[in-house]
Chains A and B, each alone.
Chain A
Amino acid sequence: DSGVTQTPKHLITATGQRVTLRCSPRSGDLSVYWYQQSLDQGLQFLIQYYNGEERAKGNILERFSAQQFPDLHSELNLSSLELGDSALYFCASSEVESSYEQYFGPGTRLTVT
């Protein structure tokens, strides 16, 4: 167990809908990262927050957004969902601002039908 928690574990929804994925980092970690993992893709970095502020952006679609709250938990919002958004979504956390020593949560499996 990495200490990073994610909810829900599974999510099934229809195209066009909006969902929110939640992540709680390890105690003491200030950085949260979101990744998307599809069947034919590796780990695609989406976005990073450090102590409440956006730090880095990767291949995140405009339909997706995220935020980190004062208690350091983070939420990833996915809207106008398409079939191709079906994937495993992982969050990771690290103690520092840089990308060192990231520990991953168990992931949320999103299925869009």
Chain B
Amino acid sequence: GENVEQHPSTLSVQEGDSAVIKCTYSDSASNYFPWYKQELGKRPQLIIDIRSNVGEKKDQRIAVTLNKTAKHFSLHITETQPEDSAVYFCAATQPSGYSTLTFGKGTMLLVSP
């Protein structure tokens, strides 16, 4: 089955800095890679996703890049703000009705004012 590794487990940055979280996956058939943000005690929120037919996707201050050859994808947050502080999860899945999302272990991002 799919295995998703996520690094780092914690990331501390100053407000205004950029943050990068990286994930690798094992199954070359995976073609959908979402990122979720989870604030303490809240639900995971889908913040951005990318499919394997594109290499990069941006939405305001967040972007995701995908390298299918190397089987890794990354989340980039620019101009970080204290409200970006949360746990971020990456995930991967295959295009099958019988496939499931496999999540990374999460990255706790702390943005200090």
Q: Which residues of A lie under 8 Å from residue B49 when comparing CB positions?
A: 100-101
Q: Does A25 contact B (CB under 8 A)?
A: no
The digit string for A22-33, where 1 denotes a CB below 8 A from any CB of B, is 000000000001
Main secondary structure of the interface of A (DSSP, over half): loop
Give the A-B pair count, Cβ closer than 8 A.
Answer: 59
B106 near A99 (CB under 8 angstroms)? no
Q: What is the size, in residues, of chain B's interface with A at 8 Å between Cβ atoms?
A: 24
Q: Which B residues lie within 8 Å of A107 (CB)?
A: 43
List of B residues within 8 angstroms of A102 by Cβ:
34, 46, 101
Please tell me if A97 contacts chain B, counting CB pairs below 8 Å.
Answer: yes
Which of A2, A90, A99, A103 is in CB contact (< 8 Å) with B100?
Answer: A99
CB-CB < 8 A to B94: which residues of A? 98
Please tell me the size bucket of the interface on A.
20 to 34
- C-alpha spacing A42/B9, complex, angstroms: 11
CB of A42, distance to nearest CB on chain B (Å): 5
- Asked if B89 and A103 make an inter-chain contact with CB atoms under 8 angstroms apart, the answer reads no
A101: contacting residue among B45, B46, B103, B105, CB under 8 A = B46
Which residue in A2, A50, A97, A99 is a CB contact (below 8 Å) of B101? A99
Closest beta carbon of chain A to B54's beta carbon, Å = 14
List the A residue with the shortest CB-CB distance to B95. A98
What's the Cα separation between A107 and B95 when bound, in Å?
26
B100 touches A56 (CB 8 A): yes
Measured in the bound complex, the distance between the Cα atoms of B42 and A57 in whole Å is 24
Of the listed residues B42, B93, B103, the one surrounded by the most CB atoms of chain A closer than 10 A to its CB is: B103
Q: Which residues of chain B are near A97, meaning CB under 8 Å?
A: 97
Q: Does B26 count as interface, using CB distance less than 8 angstroms?
A: no
The answer to whether the Cβ of A18 comes within 8 Å of any Cβ in the partner chain is no
**Is B99 a contact partner of A56 (Cβ separation < 8 A)?**
yes
